[in-house]
Amino acid sequence: MNLEEINKKRLAELQEQYAQQQFQETLQQHAMMQQQVAQIEKAAKLWMTPEALSRFGNIRVAHQEKALQVAVLIAQFVQQGKINKAITDEQLKELLFYLDDKNKQTKITRK
């Protein structure tokens, strides 16, 4: 083997190592995010009535992002002291409507 072939082989090895390292870091970050989401959801569920928990479970299956938004909002309310008793199904519905209204964008058209 000449020097150029050795350099190419070494470069390919280094690129492969780098790609594997990036993949491992991505997996670790994903696992950490999943763990954080689980902790937030667990904390939020402690403040829900059985009916609200049932609705939350349905939302989580159908709309994971929305369920996470609700859980984060509940966790924030608990930390701020705005919640001092279990959230009912009706209150959970209100939170969902609040999030829907908050996420809607107004479209302005010119005529």
Is residue 108 domain-resident? no
- Number of domains making up the chain: 1
Q: Which domain holds residue 29?
A: 3-103
Is it the case that residue 111 has pLDDT exceeding 90?
no
Is residue 109 domain-resident? no
Is residue 69 domain-resident? yes
Is residue 110 domain-resident? no
82 vs 110, higher pLDDT: 82
pTM: 0.68
Is residue 76 domain-resident? yes
Chain segment 3-52, per-residue pLDDT in tens: 999 999 999 999 999 999 999 999 999 999 999 999 999 999 999 999 99
Phi, psi angle pair for 88, to nearest 5°: -85, 170
At 55, which CATH number? Answer: 1.10.8.140
Contacts of 40 (CB under 8 A, 6+ apart): 68, 71, 72, 75
